[in-house]
DNA sequence: TTGTATGCGTTATCAG
DNA sequence: CTGATAACGCATACAA
């Protein structure tokens, strides 16, 4: 048992294979009694249909593929929960796949659409520019979430759900400028790179420009998106420059930067203010909390599902949604955080952002 | 094009289908020139072999399935990197699958072994007890990593790679006791539950017992494994009790607890000491750093691969490895952390733990 | 309502 | 080194 096939089940149940197949696929027109018998035999031998064979024949699967670039990125966790939930609500299954940092997510999606007979694809994260030819291998509707995609393909061939990285970085920088900061260090990736790095840097520069402040390469630290990257970049910023504020273009780096500042004996926000980006729940639980540009990630996840399913079900066309972020003010930029006795300080955030209580899940099993 | 099959390629290349198949699978005995021609045709029409069909026929796939319970758990990120790297080095592919919190990972694995013709399975996280019957549906060698598994099946039927949760929690608690703490609050799950919760709680109680201290339900806070869970539990601990130390059985909770303590105006470690568990890299970048029971997760990941491949390749038998943890001392329990001018404080840790620089990867794309 | 026969795209077997 | 052909396990059209 275990390596039973549909024919074995048919024989043992005294029916034909097509009847077994019908039971398997919940076809309506099969005698209730026959169905029970077949199900019992299946259970007794714990029969398990072969997915490869099914997918080989099947035309539609009511399955949406989700290709995540860097599945361990904490930013995606709540989004995945929302996507799976909403897909289930509308009667679709989610097939989740991880793409490594240097993997070709389009190729992965292309293989998947065939293998799993996907009816749609949602990309989370990934690169910025795809050629028309590359995208053309995708035969089912697809949407890019959380990235602004540019390609030479007609915009009507796919959807995007994103934020305006430049605008939001601009707003974050203005936030600091308006509170008197003039020397604002920035932790980001290389300037040349076409990516969120670039876009957010442009917003930063635009805001500075409005205050008559030019680009200063000394206070732009090029670092990777890790705690350690933020820590080291902030350290050299403190050692070599006279910044009064640090803008980290990801919350993870902001956490590392915070460590560097406190370790150096400086106060936050009195000596150095810190601004993050993304809205990870971790930023609410550092001390002080980190002011951050919060992306409405769960709304965006919902929109990704709605968009792709609407197209599949012919209820809509490809569209390009841009969501506004919200600066969540916390102690790292001088906001007075409510204290322990005033009740749970996170309630406001919860109300704004919807349920995201299980974010930042720790080691459950290890 | 795009929906070409092996027969089309064969026809266009002027060869037989089996030759195309040989090219596809890198068989040695195919004329170099023929091979080039076939490859060219494949490329021109960007042919993509159908995985379902391949898996339907194939006997072996040189693929190891990795079933992760809670893939967004930061504890697993570095392990996955190690597993994939080591598998690749030995010529195997990794097929990564996520299992939801309440999903049946054994069932998922069973489907997968058939669908992908897996040659072995590695479980990361998951439940504690499996029945013999349930495990019997797995036909290929499998190992459980990071959990102690108990089942009524013979121990020779699978491998385990784990830590001694009870012993390590005992050591952590002793560490606090030896530094003078007598009122040590603990953040953990329900006592009844058979899980790491239970095991770690037992270690905690054993250490207390050796100092003549009994169980006090008031200072055992039952909370989920999130920042928020740790935060809220620690808050009520501070409000209702007189603890001088808090032992969080996961680092994520320790971070939340730290916030609660600082927010309440208490000092760490002078007023309240904090001990974590797991060894997440985040604990190095809070301020103060969090003393934690560091699991050798990357070594364990390596051992998981070695074990399962050795069995597959008949070089070894199932074994049960238990790895010792190491208490990484940091500021949260009074350890004097090196300051910014003394060079990068993480170097020692790096040397001990091997390469894990890319842990805690943040928002790369969003 | 049920059974039979065919083919999905590939690999394995065997014969050349 | 290469080609023809029979499975793999299932879903579906069609026949009963």
DSSP string for B142-205: EEEESS--EESS-GGGSEEEEE-HHHHHHHHHHHHHHTT---EEEEES-SSSTTHHHHHHHHHH
Instruction: Tell me which long-range contacts A311-315 makes (C-beta under 8 A, separation of at least 24).
Output: A311/A120, A311/A141, A311/A159, A312/A119, A312/A120, A312/A140, A312/A141
Find out whether B112 and B95 touch, Cβ atoms under 8 Å: yes
Residues 6+ positions from B88 with CB-CB distance below 8 Å: B94
What's the pLDDT tens digit per position in A154-193? 667 899 999 999 999 999 999 999 999 999 999 998 776 7
Residues 6+ positions from A134 with CB-CB distance below 8 Å: A106
What is the band of B361 on the pLDDT scale with cuts at 50, 70, 90?
very low
B229-245 mean pLDDT: 96
Residues 6+ positions from B343 with CB-CB distance below 8 Å: none
Minimum mean pLDDT range among A182-196, B29-43, B72-86: A182-196
In this predicted model, which residue has the larger pLDDT, A228 or A30?
Answer: A228
Minimum mean pLDDT range among A95-104, B52-61, B221-230, B332-341: B332-341
Residue A66: strand pairing partners? A96, A122
What is the band of A131 on the pLDDT scale with cuts at 50, 70, 90?
confident
Tokens encoding A50: 């072969």
Which pTM was predicted? Answer: 0.88
Chain B residue with minimum CA distance to A195: B365
Task: Please report residues of B whose CB lies closer than 8 A to that of A110.
Answer: 48
Residues whose CB falls within 7 A of nucleic chain D? A 3, 5-7, 17-18, 21-22, 24-25, 49-50, 53-54, 56-59; B 14-19, 22, 28-31, 34-35, 53, 56-57
3-state secondary structure (DSSP) of residue A294: strand
d(CA A362, CA A215): 40
The pLDDT of residue B76: 95
Torsion of CA A220, A222, A224, A230, to 10 degrees: -40
Going from the C-alpha of B249 to that of each of A27, B89, B117, B202, B223, the distances in angstroms are 49, 35, 38, 12, 10
Place of tokens 């239970």: B198
Find out whether A239 and B342 touch, Cβ atoms under 8 Å: no
The pLDDT of residue A106: 93
Residues 6+ positions from A179 with CB-CB distance below 8 Å: A273, A333, A334
A105-125 mean pLDDT: 93
d(CA B203, CA B188): 12
Scanning every strand, the nucleotide with its C1' closest to B56's CA turns out to be D8
The pLDDT of residue B219: 96
d(CA A220, CA A235): 12
d(CA A241, CA A246): 11
d(CA B291, CA B251): 9
Task: Please report residues of A whose CB lies closer than 8 A to that of B238.
Answer: 340
The pLDDT of residue B1: 53
d(CA B127, CA B148): 9
Which residue's C-alpha is at the least distance from the C1' of C3?
Answer: A16
Record: contact A53-B48, CB cut-off 8 A:
no
Whether A50 CB is under 7 Å from strand C? no
Instruction: Give, for B255, the enclosing helix (H) or strand (E).
Output: helix B251-263
The pLDDT of residue B349: 35
Record: contact B362-A263, CB cut-off 8 A:
no
The pLDDT of residue A345: 38
């Amino acid at each position: 048992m275990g390596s039973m096939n549909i024919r074995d089940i048919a024989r043992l149940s005294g029916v034909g294979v097509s009847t077994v197949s019908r039971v398997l696929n919940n076809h309506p027109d099969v005698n209730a009694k026959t169905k029970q018998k077949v199900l019992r035999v299946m259970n007794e031998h714990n029969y398990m249909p072969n997915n490869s064979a099914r997918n080989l024949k099947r035309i539609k699967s009511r399955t949406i593929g989700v290709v995540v670039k860097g599945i361990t990125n904490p930013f995606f966790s709540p989004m995945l929960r929302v996507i799976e939930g909403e897909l289930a609500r509308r009667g679709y299954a989610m097939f989740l796949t991880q793409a490594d940092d240097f993997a070709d997510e389009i190729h992965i999606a292309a293989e998947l659409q065939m293998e799993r007979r996907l009816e749609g694809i949602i990309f989370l994260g990934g690169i910025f520019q795809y050629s028309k030819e590359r995208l053309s291998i995708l035969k089912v509707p697809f949407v890019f979430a959380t990235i602004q995609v540019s390609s030479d393909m007609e915009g009507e061939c796919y959807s995007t759900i994103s934020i305006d990285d430049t605008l939001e970085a601009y707003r974050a920088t203005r936030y600091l400028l308006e509170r008197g900061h003039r020397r604002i260090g920035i932790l980001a990736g290389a300037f040349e790179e076409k990516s969120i790095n670039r876009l957010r840097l442009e917003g930063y520069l635009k805001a500075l420009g409005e205050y008559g402040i030019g680009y200063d390469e000394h206070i732009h630290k090029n670092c990777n998106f890790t705690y350690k990257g933020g820590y080291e970049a902030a350290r050299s910023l403190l050692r070599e420059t006279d910044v009064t504020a640090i803008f980290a273009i990801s919350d993870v780096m902001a956490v590392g930067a915070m460590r560097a500042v406190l370790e150096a004996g400086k106060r936050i926000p009195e000596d150095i203010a810190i601004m993050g980006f993304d809205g990870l729940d971790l930023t609410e639980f550092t001390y002080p909390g980190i002011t951050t540009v919060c992306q409405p990630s769960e709304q965006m996840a919902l929109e990704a599902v709605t968009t792709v399913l609407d197209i599949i079900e012919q209820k809509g066309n490809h569209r390009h949604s841009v969501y506004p972020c919200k600066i969540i003010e916390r102690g790292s930029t001088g906001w007075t955080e409510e204290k322990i006795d005033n009740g749970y300080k996170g309630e406001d955030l919860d109300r704004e952002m919807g349920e995201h209580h299980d974010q930042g899940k720790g080691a459950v099993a290890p």
